Each structure stands twice: as C-alpha cells, then as structure tokens.
Amino acid sequence: MKKLLLFLLGIFFINVLSAQIQEVWNETYGGQDEEEAHSIIETSDGGYLVVGFTASNGSGKRDGWAVKLSKDGSMEWDMTYGGSKDDELLDVIETSTGFAMVGYTSSIGQGKKDFWLVITDKEGKMAWERAYGDKKNEVANSIIPCYDGNVYIAGYTKSKGGGGRDFWIIKVEPIAGEKERGKLVWRKNMGGNGADYSMMIKENPKDSFLYVLGNSTSSGNGGMDAFLYKLSPNRGNVRVKKNFGQRGFEHGNDFCFTENNGYLIVGGTMSNSKGFFDAWVIKLEEEYYSEWEHTYGGSHEDEWVSLVQNSDSYLLAGWTESKGEGKYDGWLMMLDKKGKTLWEKTIGDVGVDKIFRMIKTSDGHYIVVGMTNSKGEGKTDAWVIKLK
C-alpha cells in the first residue's frame, strides 16, 4: 500500500509540474531532406521570422533559409539564400528596412567557411550579402544592432589569432543606404593556443558595453571553461575577462543580465555530472563571483541552450537524453531566482527532438525552435512551438 501511495503521489507531482505550461501550436516546416531552425524573432507586424537551413530546396546541399510565420504559425513566405556549397543561417534581427541574418557561407568568400551577412527587405528578398574571413573557417553565431544603426557580429575564426579557433567579433556598417555596403569598421579576435569560440553577444542597456559569452580550451580550470568578456563598443577593447568551470568540461550557450546587475549563464557541464553532460546554470554577482550554481539531468546527455528572464523566475530551454519519449526530447524548466526548480516539461516523440532557441513574445507567451525527426515531411524538419 505504501509503494502504491508513493507511486500515485509521484504521478500527481509529474502531472502538476508539466501542467504549468501548455502548447498553443506545434508545427514543422520542411521538405523531403533536412531542415533545422536555429533562431527566431518576433516581427513588427506581430508575426515571427525563423532562420536556419534547408537541404530540400535551394542551390546547394544546404542553403540558408528564412521562414516568415503569422501569429498562428501558418507560413506566409519562405526564402532560400546561398550558392552551390553549404550555407547556413544561425541568427537574425529586424532592421528598419527588413532583416539582417548571419551564419556561414561556403559559396562565397575566401575560406572554407566565412562569416556571412545577408540583408533582405521585409518580404525576404535579398538586398545584398557579404562574406568576412580569410583562408580557413569563420562562423558567425550571433548578431545584435548597435547604437548607430549598424551591427555587431560574434562567432569564431580559424584564420586569425593564435589557436585552433579564436573568438571573433566584428562591427559592420552600413547595413542600409547607398554607401559601401557591409564595410568592416573594426574586428577583434581573442583566444590562446586551443579552441576558443563565441556563442552569444549582447549589449547591456545599463552601461552600453558589449558582453560576449563563449568557451575556451586555451585557459581556465578544466578541459574547457565558459568565458564572459566585457568589451568597449567603440573598438572592442577587452575590459573584463572571466572564466567559469571546474576540472572537467563546461560550456556556456546563452546568458542574460539580471536585475541586481549580475549575470545568469546556461550551458552544459561534465564536472560532477550524472551523465555525459548535465545541463548547467551559474548565477553571477555584479563582480562576477558565483552566487549559486546548479546542474540538472540524468544518466545521459542534457543541455541548456537558451533562456528567458521573467520578473520572478527564469525559463530555460534545451534538450535531454535522460527524460522524455525519444532519443532526445526538447526540455523546458522554470527556476525561481535561487535556482530551485518550479516545474519542468519535455516535448517530443520517439525520435530526436531538440530546441535551439527560445524567445518571449509580446503577448506573454514563449516560442521555441529547433529540429525534429519524430514528425514532419523529411529526414529532419524545422520545429516551432508556441507555449503559454
């Protein structure tokens, strides 16, 4: 009787936790081959723009792909960009005249892969494109607008610097107008003898400095550490460099500025993990000292890749191999401001389902994007879910 009571209480507890958030719609987009969605923004008309890649359409094996959605998830238009080789979009912002998208291109430029900036109008028609890089590989993971109407782009370079990869940050102007399109204003590489790469760049509205999150095997406490850089916006000069990790491998994928002038970083860790990687969260004070740190996961691979800050909580998104229905499932967890789990939910079916990015919408809901082979038309489909 006692075992039965504990089992029923466990079922009740799981149902209560997963009932905290519900799907508004759950859609896939793609053809017979492979598609993935890597980033999403809410657009000024109340819809959404998703970017990633498609192997079902376009000119090459993979083409950069933008999908415009209405508020209910129906497709309004989609456009492919690229040439005869692999090209992929990883991030996007809206501009006054359309959209600015970044990723990598193997079809134009000087190297095997180059930073790739694609500028379009509001309907997704390409206005111009430009590649940045040298003879090896450069990949752009993140783009943000800057105060003067131009953009900062962050990723990594193998052509410049001292190691296998270096953080690479560039400022580009102008992205609109009739001047020299895509002019490189400044560039900054950071790293050592190992692998160093940036995942996310953000501007802190409180001090207007640039903050870049990435990962490094060149220095730190273990095999790989998460690194947070503070850069001046005018020339990209390093003001602060801090690493976070233990004896194993840690990497950071996303971060936010907290209300007490601190920082919250999410990613994965192998140090003291239950599985291959555990999902990892570290909360930093204003002076970058750890306020608290938690891991979440089971006996397999678990990872946080994106987060949203609410007034009294943090919503984290990623994937889990330890829980759910399939090989990998999309994974959501709500934490209070001390890192205590309020609820969690897995999303997926029998195959591989992964979340790559999450945003909070103007109506107070959330949207996650990623890839799935549990449903859809092809080998993998772009996957977009709205939740409330």
Predicted confidence pLDDT, tens digits, the chain (388 residues) = 444 444 444 444 444 444 589 999 999 999 999 999 999 999 999 999 999 999 999 987 999 999 999 999 999 999 999 999 999 999 999 999 999 999 999 999 998 999 999 999 999 999 999 999 998 999 999 999 988 888 999 999 999 877 789 999 999 997 766 667 899 999 999 999 999 999 999 999 999 999 999 999 998 888 999 999 999 998 999 999 999 998 899 999 999 999 889 999 999 999 988 888 999 999 999 999 999 999 999 999 999 999 999 999 999 999 999 999 989 999 999 999 999 999 999 999 999 999 999 999 999 999 999 999 999 998 999 999 999 9
Note the pLDDT of residue 177: 65
* Residue 113 bridge partners (DSSP): 137
Note the pLDDT of residue 5: 46
Tokens of 107: 């079809």
Domains annotated for the chain, with CATH where assigned, are: 21-387 (2.130.10.10)
**For residues 234 and 143, what is the distance between their CA atoms, to the nearest angstrom?**
16
Closest CA to 84 of 107, 57, 51, 108: 107
Q: Alpha carbon of 144 to those of 46, 204, 381: distances in Å?
A: 20, 11, 27
Note the pLDDT of residue 178: 62
- H-only helix segments in the chain: 2-18
- For the whole prediction, is pTM greater than 0.95? no
Q: Which residue type occupies 232?
A: S
**For residues 297 and 25, what is the distance between their CA atoms, to the nearest angstrom?**
27
Regarding beta strands 63-69 and 75-81, do their DSSP bridges make them parallel or antiparallel, or are they unpaired?
antiparallel
Note the pLDDT of residue 8: 44
Q: Are 213 and 227 in contact (CB under 8 A)?
A: yes
**For residues 331 and 340, what is the distance between their CA atoms, to the nearest angstrom?**
16
Note the pLDDT of residue 272: 81
Which contiguous run of DSSP H or E holds residue 360? strand 353-360
SS3 assignment, position 11:
helix
* Residue 23 bridge partners (DSSP): 387
